[in-house]
Each structure stands twice: as structure tokens, then as C-alpha cells.
Amino acid sequence: MSRPRLRDYGIAIGQLPPGPRNAITDVRGVRVGHATLIQGEGPLRPGEGPVRTGVTLILPHAGNLFREKVRAGVRTLNGFGKPCGLEELRELGVVETPIALTNTLNVFRVADALATHALAHNPEIGVSTSSVNPVVGECNDGYLNDIQGRHVGAAQVTAALEDALSGQAGLPVREGNVGAGTGTSCFGWKGGIGTASRRLPQEAGGWTVGALVQSNFGRPEQLVVDGLPVGRFLRPPGYRPQPEGGSIMVVLATDAPLTARQLGRLCVRAGAGIARTGSHFGHGSGDFVIAFSTAHRIRHWPQELTAPLPALAHEPRVLDALFAAVVEAVEEAILNSLFTAETMTGRDGHVRYALPVEPILERLRRPRW
């Protein structure tokens, strides 16, 4: 279901080195799970299919997230989207469930399933303590998928959780037509899930930044690959211009000890990574970024009033390195989603073609200077 990644061809984005997996799972303890739904062919029968969708979960750690939350920040680049959970994330600066990605109309059923999961492990929720705040992002995969059918339910969320928790942390992340990326489109080509990571120099703390994207934005003529204006020359077969109705969800993870305010600043820089691939942050594109830090856990039931929090002492020395890491990782994660995704035929015979990488690679390998 997946082709080689950008770096498999010897192409590197930016200056910083990636982590060992070049994935968000390079941030220690982070796990990713997918559930993928591909069923049926032919004309759209709303509620029945064809189905080309799924759900992807990002877990900051494998423990009980409600009881041991992680610090988080968020930025809305373009708010034309239906995510859940951002108000409370913004107010309290924490994430307390897995972060889920799915299709636009399915976001509520997935949030409900995350709540069910949290209730199962924390029966006190809503009874003797506050409620739980599921965080769910989404992209519109309706060009290929029977999006009205809302086929992702509790079973798929459970399967994705099991997928995330099976095996060890730090495993590679499947990309392309998988999970929430199964039915998405990017620059008129097949998009999907992509990931990448960057390692900071030791003198800047040696921390890791990982990015995972669900790519579903842009028009073909806009695509830029590592500065190469691919979109001016390469168009999908039979492409007819369409208004952009896409979106991109970006999830950032780091082990740097950042406050919620600082994590929010990281999110801003994801916008630069997205812009470098050619995006205009189109009107119809819901572009959201969520960042979390694994450096510290916030206990729901702490024993002390105060606790020392590991924190950056001086921002400039480290933050510019973190910002560069975010820009590079997001740009590469988007390109990985395009490079790895395979051609997909969906409802009504709609086809999203895999980005043809050879003509691009050939130009990228030419001397630039």
C-alpha cells in the first residue's frame, strides 16, 4: 500500500538530521495506530459505499492519558474545519486522549468512540470528576469516499488503538493510503499519511521533533517539491480545476520541555512547512496544528500543590532550532505522504493518481547551482 519515501531516493529536506525512523515515533514513547477501510467499488450509494477512509491515532504515551496528561498547544491556520477538543486544549494546555484523525463527517463518531474508551478506563469520568476532552482532527475525503456514510465507528477506533499499542514504541509509521489518509487527496494527486522527524544539535539540547500529517490540500499547479515548482509542469491525467475543499492536519511531538505557550509557537512554524510545498492555506482548507511535549506528565490526581516543571531557561538558543526542525519535518512529512501514496480509485470511478516521482527525482538530482 506504500511506495518508497523521499529520503529512500537520497533526497533530504533542510539541514537538520532526522531521527532513526524519520518519524513522529522517534520522539520517545510516541505511538501511532491506523485502521483502514477500503470496501466496494462503483457509483456512490450514500451510506453504503464505496468506502475509502479510516482513522489514525497518535498516542503521546502508552499509559492512561486521562490520568497522566501531556502538555500541548494548538494553532488554527485556517479554521474552515470541524475538529473537536481544541477549545479545552487551548485553555488548559494539555491533551488527555489519543489524538485522532479521520474524515470530516466522521469526526463526531470518532470523538464519541474516544470518549467511550476513556470511560472504560476511567469510570469516574463525569461521575466524580470532570469530563474528558477527545481531540479529533479531520480532512474531507469525499472525492473518493462515501463520506456521508460515516463508516468509521467504535470498532475502527479500537482497532487503531490496538495497532498503536501492539509492539514497541519507536516503530516506523505506515504512510500513504492508510488510516485517516486512505481517501485523501493532495495537490490533485493521492495524498495520505506522512511523517518525518528532526534531531537538534547537542548544543541546542539534542531534542527530537516529530511531525505527522494527514494531507488533503492544494491544487496541482501549486505543488512545490524541495523548491522545484513541480506543479507548473506536472498535472494529473484528466485533471479539471476544482475549488479547493481540502485540509491538512498536522500533529507535532517533541521531548523538549516546552510549555503550552511554547508548543503553540511551534505550531505556527508548521505553517511555513506547509507553505513550502505550495499551499496558499486555501479558503476551503481546514488547516490545524497540534503540538505536544512528552517531557512531563500532568497528573489528574496529583499529590502536591506544586511541582518543579522542566523548562527551557532561555528561548533563543533552542527555539530557533526547534522552529527549523518543525519547518523541515512538516515539509518532508507532506512530501512523504505524496511519495508513498499509491493510486486509488474510489466512488463513481474517481481516481487519484500516485504522484509520478521519477520526473521529479530526475530534476531534483540536477545540480542546482
Active-site annotation, residues? 247, 285, 287
| Residue closer to a copy of itself, measured from CB, 112 or 342 | 112
Minimum distance from CB of 168 to a copy of itself (Å)? 27
By rule CB under 8 A, what string of x and - marks binding of each residue 172-191 to a copy of itself? --------------------
User: Contacts by 358-363 with C-beta closer than 8 Å and gap 24+?
Assistant: 359/233, 359/234, 360/225, 360/228, 360/230, 360/234, 361/9, 361/11, 363/228
Among positions 4, 63, 239, 283, the unique one binding a copy of itself when judged by CB under 8 A: 283
* Lookup: cell for 341: 501514496
Alpha carbons 279 and 174: distance in angstroms, whole number: 24
Q: Which stretch binds a copy of itself (CB under 8 A): 35-43, 55-63, 163-171, 281-289?
A: 281-289
Among positions 179, 220, 282, 346, the unique one binding a copy of itself when judged by CB under 8 A: 282
Contact status: 3 vs a copy of itself (CB under 8 A): no
Minimum distance from CB of 201 to a copy of itself (Å)? 12
| Residue closer to a copy of itself, measured from CB, 75 or 174 | 75
Contact status: 10 vs a copy of itself (CB under 8 A): no
Residues 128-167 that bind a copy of itself (CB under 8 A): 129-134, 140, 142, 147-148, 150
Minimum distance from CB of 8 to a copy of itself (Å)? 21
Residue 53 vs residues 107, 112, 140: alpha-carbon distances, Å: 12, 18, 10
- Residues near 273 by beta carbon (within 8 Å), at least 6 away in sequence: 211, 250, 326, 327, 328, 329, 330, 331, 333, 334
145, 103 in Cβ contact below 8 A? yes
Contact status: 228 vs a copy of itself (CB under 8 A): yes
95 in the Ramachandran plot: left (φ > 0), alpha (ψ -120 to 50) or beta? beta
Among positions 29, 40, 112, 154, the unique one binding a copy of itself when judged by CB under 8 A: 112
* Lookup: cell for 355: 504522484
Minimum distance from CB of 279 to a copy of itself (Å)? 6
Q: Which residues of 228-263 are buried (b: 16+ CB within 10 A; e: fewer)?
A: bebbeebbbeeeeeeebbbbbbbbbbbbbbbbbebb
Contact status: 305 vs a copy of itself (CB under 8 A): yes
Contact status: 209 vs a copy of itself (CB under 8 A): no
Minimum distance from CB of 336 to a copy of itself (Å)? 19
By rule CB under 8 A, what string of x and - marks binding of each residue 79-98 to a copy of itself? xxxxxxxxxx-xxxx-----
Contact status: 12 vs a copy of itself (CB under 8 A): no
Alpha carbons 73 and 274: distance in angstroms, whole number: 18
* Lookup: cell for 187: 495537490
Alpha carbons 60 and 27: distance in angstroms, whole number: 9
| Residue closer to a copy of itself, measured from CB, 30 or 204 | 204
